[in-house]
Each structure stands twice: as C-alpha cells, then as structure tokens.
Structure 1
Amino acid sequence: MARFLILQLRPEAEAADEEFAAILGKGGLLRDEVHRIRLDQDPLPADLDPGDYAGVIVGGGPGCVSDPPEAKRPLEARIEADCLSLMPAILERDIPFLGCCYGIGILVHALGGDVSKDRYGEPVGAVPCRVTEAGAEDPLLAGLPERFDVFVGHKEAAQALPSGVAHLLEGEACPYQMIRAGRNVYATQFHPEADAAGFETRIRIYKDRGYFDPSEAGDLIAMCRAAEVTVPERILARFVDLCR
C-alpha cells in the first residue's frame, strides 16, 4: 500500500511535532505509513511525484500566500513555492489532497482564485460552521452533524471560490471553511487535526505573530479548553479511509 505524504510548514519544532502526532492520531495513521517532510528543514525533492502516495496532507503554518514577495521571509517563500509546485499534478490527476488552513490558500491560489486579508480573517478560537447542500453529499461529511465547531486562526482567506469548486462547509465570519476541487482535492480553513492542547501550544508559540493581542493569550487558551471540538477529526479520519 502506498504511503501518505505529510508536508509540514512550521519552523517551530514543538508545534511541528505536536501537529504531526495529531495528524497520525486523529487520522488513524501509523508512523510507517507516512513520509513526513518538514519543509522548513528539507526542500521538496525535485523528483517527488505526489501520485506515488495514497494521499497528500499539508499542515498549517505561519506564512500567508497573499503577502507580497518583499514581505515574505526567505524560508516562507521557499515553502510556498514547494507547495505550489505540487498543485498542477495534484489538480490535473485528481490526486487525493487535504490542505489544512494554509492549504486552502494554496489550493485557491493554484486555481487562480483570490486569497487576501481583505475579509474573512478569524481570530484564534472555536467557531461554528454548517454543512452546505453540496457538503451533505460529500463522502467526508455525509452523516456528520449539520452544525459543529472547528478550531481556526488565520489572517487571510479565500474571497471567492474559483469556478467549479464545491463549497462544502460555511462559517459565519468566514464563508469558505471547506472546499473541494475535482473529486479528491480538499482544503479546510480550519484545523481538522487540532484539539485544545494543540491550540494551546500554538497560542503560546505564535502570540507575537499578529493573530491576536498577546495579552489575550490566557483567555484564548481558556476558551479553547472549554470548547467541544470533536467532529473535525472525523473528517481527517474519513479522508485517510477514502485514500486507502
């Protein structure tokens, strides 16, 4: 059986390791089933073919696709270029793909859509979302509750969906919480692997990166601990099962 490719973008070891463990645990994956690449440490191999894998999962990160080139740190620019380099093959061949948070920006940008900070950014926390009519028929969402909470925290967002992209989950402050291109290429604005402990780590690590007022970190951690966010991990597990 082909392995899963997990691409991670976070340069902070603690956050990257915790995210990786969460993807394995919530996705029902064993360590020897995956090929993990931390793009902050290793550039994407030039001969890597995403079609050699059962599925591709891209984690979140502090970069923004919509930032102008001069505002991007060299590492962030290289990670973005590596991720975007895979998208033509993934889209053309409909290779199973799940982009988490940063991944929705990558997917929409690759399709020529508008990703910016103009509207729909969301502060760190748990927010409600609703399954759309198209989402209710999608294998990753069918039979799940019509409404459930997800963990978010992002500065940029898709401003509109490119033609032909299915809108699967919608939110109140951010309309595009989950989308699909083709049959197998998915992206979420939220973090399907995240739980309260994982978000507490990220709040602590990224408190000075402009996602929220640093003085609010304690309140945000308390809010995440009090939230009941359990459905998103089922989406991740279903994606893994679909790929298998």
Structure 2
Amino acid sequence: MKPFLILQLRPETEASDGEFAAFLDKGGLRTEEVHRICLDHQALPDDLNLSDYAGVIVGGGPGCVSDDPASKDPVEARIEADILSLMPEITARDVPFMGCCYGIGILAHHLGADVSKERFGEPVGPVSCTLTEDGAADPLLAGLPAQFDALVGHKEAVQELPTGCVHLLASDPCPFQMIRYGRNVYATQFHPEADGHVFEDRINIYKHRGYFPPETAEDLIVTVKSSEVTVPPDILRRFVQRYR
C-alpha cells in the first residue's frame, strides 16, 4: 500500500502538529500510512517521486500567494516555491491531490487564475457551503447534504474559476469553496480537517496575524466550538478512501 504524502506549510510547530493530528483523525489515516514533510524546516527530497504515493495532501498556512514577493517572509517564500514546483507534474499527470485552504490558492495560481485579496476573503468562523450541480455528481461529494457548514478564515481568495477546473462548492461570501482539476486534483478554501477544537488552537496561535482583532479571540472560540461542522471531514475521508 502506497502512503499519502502530507506537506505542511505552517512554520509554527504547535499549529503544524495540530494540523497533522487533524489530518490523521479526520482522514482516518494511521501514521504508517503517511509520509509527513514539514516544509518550514525540511526541503523536498531531490529524489521525491510522486508515483511512490497514493496521493498528496497539502495543509494550510499563514502565507498568501498574492503577497508581494519582496515582502514575504523568507521561510514562507521558500515553502511556496517548493509546493509550486510540484504542481506542473501533479496537474499534468492528474496525481490525486487535496489542497486545503492555502492549497486552493496554490492550484489556482499555478493554473494562471487570479488569486488576490480584492474580493471573497472570509473572517474566521463557520460558513454555509452549497453544492453545485457538478459538485453533487462528484465522487467525493455525491450524497452529501446540499448545504453544510465548514470552517474558514482567509485573507485572499480565488477570483475566477481557473481554466480547466470544475466548480464543486460555493458560499455566499466566497464563490469558490471547492474546485477540481482533471479527475483527481482537488482544492478547498475551507478546512476539511478542522473542527471547533482544531480552530480554537489556531485562533490562539494566529490571533496576531491579522485575521481578526486579537481582543475578539475568545468570542470567536465560542462561535467555532458551538458550530455544527460534521460534513467537511467526510470529504477528507472520502479522498483517502478513494485513493488509498
């Protein structure tokens, strides 16, 4: 059985470890089924062969692909470059891929679409997502409720459907919540691995990163912990089950 390659972009150890635990838990994965690379302190191996993996899962992070390259944190810039270096092969070979939050910006940017902070940013918290007609027919989404809540929090967003992509999920504030390129390359704007407890940790870690006024952190924690977020983990589990 081939392992899944989990690539993490968060330079904060606590946030990275929490995200990894959430991927295992919500995806129904065991540690022996994954190869984890934390790109903040591990470079991509020179001999990395995507054919050795059942699929690639990319986590979120505080970086934005639309930020001015000259102003980016050097670590975040290197992480972004590493991920982007894999996208030509992933999209050309239709390698199973699940990009979460930051991952949708990476995929769209690689495909030449506009990713910016102009429109469609969403504050931290739950948002109602709606299946499109294509979404209702997609293998990862078929049979799920037509509407369900997911947890979000992002400054930038995809401004247009990238060429060659299928639109799967939308929300009122952000039209592109989930897209697919080819048959196997997926990306979500929401966090399919996150529940209220996962977001509580991230709120505490990122409360000074400009996502929300720091003094509102406690109220946000109450909101996310009381939200009904049960469907998004099913999407992650279905991805794992389909390609395992």
TM-score strictly above 0.5: yes
One-letter amino acid of the counterpart of residue 66, structure 2 = S
Q: 2:190 matched to which residue of 1?
A: 190
Q: CA deviation at 1:164?
A: 1.9
Task: Please say if 1:131 is aligned against 2:131.
Answer: yes
Q: 2-side partners of 1:113 and 1:57: how far apart? A: 21
State how far apart, in whole Å, the 2-side matches of 1:117 and 1:213 are. 18
- State the secondary structure of the residue aligned to 2:179: strand
After TM superposition, give the deviation of residue 51 of structure 1 in Å: 2.3
Structure-2 separation of matches of 1:136 and 1:51: 29
- Equivalences for residues 90-239 of structure 1 within 5 A: 90-239=90-239
Give the secondary-structure state (helix, strand or coil) at the position aligned to 2:233: helix
- Corresponding residue for residue 12 of structure 2: 12
Distance 1:52 1:90 in 2: 13
User: Paired residue for 1:67?
Assistant: 67
Over the matched positions of the two proteins, sequence identity in percent amounts to 68
In 1: Cα distance, 2:51 partner to 2:222 partner: 42
What are structure 2's unaligned runs of at least 5 residues? none
Q: Distance in 2 between matches of 1:199 and 1:131?
A: 23
Structure 1: runs of 5 or more not aligned: none
4+ runs deviating over 3 angstroms: none
Q: Which amino acid aligns with 1:174?
A: C
TM-score by length of 2: 0.99
Segment of structure 1 superposing worse, 45-54 or 187-196: 45-54
- TM (norm. structure 1) is 0.99
Letter in 2 for 1:92: A
Whole-angstrom CA distance in 2 between matches of 1:98 and 1:216: 31
> Aligned with 1:29: secondary structure?
coil
Determine helix, strand or coil for the equivalent of 2:41.
coil
Residue 21 (structure 1) aligned with residue 26 (structure 2): no
Give the drift of 1:52: 1.6
Give the aligned residue type for 1:76: E
Letter in 2 for 1:41: H
Q: Deviations over 1:206-243 (max 9, x none)?
A: 00101011111011000001100000000000000111
Task: Quote the offset at 1:107 in angstroms.
Answer: 0.2
Q: Deviations over 1:149-177 (max 9, x none)?
A: 00000000000012220000000100000
Deviation at 1:38, TM superposition (A): 0.3
Quick check: 1:81 aligned with 2:81? yes
Q: Deviations over 1:131-165 (max 9, x none)?
A: 00000000000000000000000000000012220
Distance 1:37 1:124 in 2: 26
- SS of the aligned residue for 1:202 comes to helix
Aligned positions, number: 244
**How far, CA to CA, are the matches of 1:49 and 1:91 in structure 2?**
15
Q: Distance in 2 between matches of 1:108 and 1:49?
A: 23
Distance 2:118 2:51 in 1: 35
